[in-house]
Amino acid sequence: MAAAQAGDRDALEALLRRHHDRLWALCRRLTGNHADAEDALQDALIAIARGIRRYDGRAAFTTWSYRVATNACLDELRRRRRRPVADVPETVGVGAAPEGVGGAVSAPPTAGAVDAVADRLDIDAALALLPQEFRAAVVLRDLCDLDYAEIGRVLGIPPGTVRSRIARGRSQLADLLGNPTDTPDRPSTRP
Amino acid sequence: MTAARDPDDLASALLDGLLSDDEAAAARRDPAVAARLAELAAVRDAVRRQPRSPDPAARERGLAAALAAYDSPDEADLAGGGAVSPMRSARAARPAAPRTDTPWRPHGGARRRWLTAAAVVLAVVGVGILARNLDSGGDDDTSTAASESSSEGGESNAAADAGGGTDQTAPPSDGQLAIVDLGDVGSPAALAQRAAAMVAAGSSDASAGAAGGQAESGQGTAQAARPRSAACGDDAQAERLAAGGEPVVLRGRATLDGQPVDVWVVGASGDERVVAVDASCAVVVDQPLQD
């Protein structure tokens, strides 16, 4: 990190490569499709490269880079003035889930609940139907494993609002995956 | 205590380990919460599954673009960093070459079309300005701004930004709107109200003072000294984030609940929205102007 900030190009490249896949996962989930995710991630990588010299270390680099990537994704979606458009549904279970979800209850779902979700799983399509603010909060929590305070810093909202958005986002996702024809209301303002 | 709370909220909090032992035990005894917990856990697991990997070639291109940007620090970097305002000219914040209209951009075709459209718009504006200059003697500020805008149109990264659909396609153009000081407000509603008053009063000139603020030059340097996080990338990104390609009706800044924000009123007449972006580039207000 220090070397990259001091102008060491190789250090920056190593840093970006190390964090690339998790930023990709974030962008992929927030934008819902490969093409937009590639655009957004490229913008994010450029922003990181340009901003690394000014990065002050007050937030962890991971949190900061998530923030940059989240902004890039939301910017990309705003630019296109639409919700995410999901690609063809992915194969369920590709890759491994990240380990070490902090503070989380060990997965308690019943087999029936998991199957009911997995059988209809097009998580990107469901995420695309969520209000943007809920989607970002849920993805930052459940994919990126940020805690509520970190998510608050990324999204610029208080932790209480983070908690509310995550709960409502998860709830809407559960309803959507259980009944894909339901569409949640989309609020026009941020709480 | 927990019985009165929403099962979704309780289940989500339980899933994230936010409840005390007593609260968690009580929540687990509630059949509605227990059932919802199972569903939310399944949702969490679904979101957590890693998406399909990116195309390796795209990954390398993205990294190369980032390294190119790193190799060509913009003026803000050279000047020492964080003291960059979203209101500063987007032109000054663009990197020398990191984003080019090369085939590796997934939407390069669309960007080329935008480039063509932007060039046509610039040509029309240029002809208009030239005509005005011939009529008026040609020494007003507008002609200067327009000629600067025209000159940047030849840069590849300016073309890329034009592809984003704001800088050169959304009248009124940047540089022609003064930055209005909207003062201190305590809530998004108050901000919207004040912005609406500015718009109604004509906003960007002498009327600004009548509403309690003051108009400033868009080129002013004093305001550019307000710190801004690097998270915004550059000023064009902040503008795109706020306007999303819609016409910019008013540009300003305010202090919202103690936090400095940059403010845009965007959208067609009668359908304007007020958008505020805070110092770390997060959109903190996005709501109809007349709310």
ipTM: 0.75
The larger pLDDT score, comparing residue A21 to residue B141, is at A21
The larger pLDDT score, comparing residue B265 to residue A121, is at B265
The larger pLDDT score, comparing residue B112 to residue A62, is at A62
Picking from B38, B70, B237, the nearest residue to A109 by CB comes out as B38
SS (H, E, C) chain A: CHHHHCCCHHHHHHHHHHHHHHHHHHHHHHHCCHHHHHHHHHHHHHHHHHHCCCCCCCCCHHHHHHHHHHHHHHHHHHHHCCCCCCCCCCCCCCCCCCCCCCCCCCCCCCHHHHHHHHHCCCHHHHHHCCCHHHHHHHHHHHCCCCCHHHHHHHHCCCHHHHHHHHHHHHHHHHHHHHCCCCCCCCCCCCC
Angle (nearest 5°) at CA B159 between B139 and B58: 160
Interface A:B, Cβ pairs < 8 A: 265
Which one, of B243, B99, B157, lies nearest residue A43 by Cα? B99
Shortest Cα–Cα distance, B123 to chain A (Å): 24
Q: Name, of A76-90, B91-105, B177-191, the range with top average pLDDT.
A: B177-191
The span from the CA of A182 to the CA of B13, in Å, is 24
Q: Give A15's contacts in chain B (Cβ within 8 Å).
A: none
Check whether A141 has a pLDDT greater than 60. yes
Beta bridge partners of B278: B261
Q: Give B98's contacts in chain A (Cβ within 8 Å).
A: 46, 49-50
- A12 and chain B in contact, CB less than 8 A: yes
Tell me the pairing of strands B215-216 and B248-256: unpaired
Banded pLDDT at B82 (limits 50, 70, 90):
very low
Q: CA of A111: which chain B residue's CA is closest?
A: B38
Tell me the per-residue pLDDT of A89-140, one tens digit each, with 9 for 90 and over.
Answer: 543 333 333 333 333 444 444 545 554 444 445 788 899 899 989 999 999 9
Question: How far is residue B150 CA from its own chain's centroid?
Answer: 23
